[in-house]
Amino acid sequence: MSQGVEDWMWLQFTLARESSRAEEVAGDVFGLQEIQNDISEIGQRIFVKGQEAAAGGYGTFFLLQILGGMFEHAVSYLGNYAPINAVHFGIALDYYGLLRVSDFYTSGEELLSFTTKQLPQINFAFLITQYTREFRAGNVEAAVDYFTLICLNADLPGELGKSQASVCHEALREFILETRDFAKLLGDVKSDGTRIKGAIEQRLKLIKLDNQEEFLKTITTQAAAVADDKGLTADAVLLYHLAEDYDNVIVILNRALSDAVAVNLGSLVHQAKPSAGQQSDTTDAGSSFSLTSVEDPVVLARNMIGLYNTNAMYYQQIHPTNREACGILLRMMDAKRKVEAGKWAQALDELNDLQILPLNARGSLPYIRSATQSFSALPPVIARNGGHLIMWSITCISRERERLQHGVYENDMRQGLADQLLGMAKDLMVFAGMIRLKLLPGVYEALAKAAGDMSVL
C-alpha cells in the first residue's frame, strides 16, 4: 500500500507545475496547493475516524501528508493515534525548519491553528510540555532535554522567537518548583564545598539566555523560597547556598536549630529531610555525599558552618549576629543532649557557659538585672528558648541536689554544693519572674512547680 501511495504522489508531482496563477487559466492550474487540497479531500472521504484500518491504517494518510508537505497537518493528525510518534516527528521536522510554529501565549491548548493568511501552524511548545507530563516527575533530566527543544524556535524573527524562548524559561521555572528535585536540576554541593552543576546549568547555552547568571540566580532564589515555605530545610539551605545568599542559609539553619531546641526533652527532633532527588550519592574523590543530604538539623548546621568558617568569601557575607546565634544554638543543643543523657553536672556547666542565665549570680540582684537586660537584647531565635534553658537548669539542679543529698556519705562539702545549687535555683526563679512576659505561656507556672518540688528535698 505504501508503495502505491508513493507512486501516486510521484505522479502528482510529475504533473504539477508551479507557474504564475495570473497568467494561467484557472482550470489548468495544478501545483502544490492543488495536491494538498486533493490529499485533504482524500482524508475527509477515506481516512475518517474509525475507518482508517480499511484504508491501510492511519500511517498511510500520515505518509501522504508528509510527502505532500503538509507537515503541520501531519503532526496534528498523528497525535490523535500515536502521540509519542507525533511528538518526535514534530521535533525532527522542527529541527530542519519544516514546521511553522504558533505563539504559545495566543494559541493556548490548541495544537493546530491557522495564521491570518490561513496557513497551518503547530503549537510546538504545547506539544512538548504536554508530552513531558507522562514522565517528568520520574526522569527530570530527560524532561529538561525536552523543554530545551522549545528553544529550537528561539531564532525565529520578531516576537515569535522571543516568545518561544520565554515559554522554555517559564516551563523550566515551573518544573523546578513542581518536582522539587533541586539537586539534580539546579546543582549540589559536595562535602568539600565543591559545586556540582545541575541539569539546567549544563544546558545553559541551549536555552538562549541573555543573562545566564541572573536567570540561574533568580530561579534558584525562587525555588529556595518555596522550599523554605514548605519546611524543606535541607533543600532551602542548598538552594540559598547555590544562589550565593549565605546569610540566608544561616538564618534558616538558626530557625531549624531553634525549633530543635524547643522540642520537649526525649522527643524526636523534626528532621531537615531533603527531597528524594537530593539523596543521590556522589562518588567523586574527596566527597562521598552531598553536604546538605542529611536529616539532622544539628549535623546540617555543623556542615555548613564548617564550610563557611574555612572560606573568607562565605564568612564575610554572613551577618555576625546570625553567625553568633548559630554557634549559641549549637551549644544549646549540646547542653540539651547532656540533659537527656542524665549528665546533670556537665549539662549545668554547658548551660552556664552560654552566659544567658544568671547561674553565677550568688543572690546578687544587680547581676540578675544585668542578665535580664542582656536577655532582652538576644535574637528571637535564642530568646524564644529562654524558658527551656531555665527548665533544663532547674531539672539539672534538682537531680544533682538529689544525688548529693542521697549519697552514702554525708559531709560539709556535699551540703555546701547542695546549698549552692539551691541558691542557683532561687536566682533562676527571680530571673524568670523578671522575664516572665517574654516566656511562653505556662512556662513560668511549670518553673514555679519544679522549684517548689525541689525546695522540700
What is the model's pTM? 0.73
Q: 38 near 15, Cβ under 8 Å?
A: no
Cell of 79: 497525535
Average pLDDT of the segment spanning 172-195: 83
Cell of 393: 537548669
- The string of pLDDT tens digits covering residues 239-258 is 899 888 999 999 999 999 99
Q: Are strands 120-122 and 112-114 parallel, antiparallel or unpaired?
A: antiparallel
CA distance 213 to 20: 53
- Measure the N-to-C terminal CA separation of the chain; round to a whole number of Å: 102
Q: Where are the domains of the chain?
A: 245-262+289-333, 342-456
pLDDT above 90 (res 207): no
- The string of pLDDT tens digits covering residues 316-368 is 999 999 999 999 999 999 999 999 999 999 999 999 999 999 999 888 999 99
DSSP 239-261: HHHHTT-HHHHHHHHHHHHHHHH
| Proportion of the chain above pLDDT 90, given as a percent | 36
pLDDT on residue 434: 87
Instruction: Name 62's Cβ contacts closer than 8 Å, sequence gap at least 6.
Output: 74, 77, 78
- The string of pLDDT tens digits covering residues 36-55 is 888 888 888 877 766 655 44
Q: Name 101's bridge partners.
A: 122
- The string of pLDDT tens digits covering residues 402-451 is 887 776 556 677 778 888 888 888 888 888 888 877 777 667 777 777 66
pLDDT above 90 (res 86): yes
Burial group, residue 168, by CB count within 10 angstroms (0-12, 13-18, 19+): buried
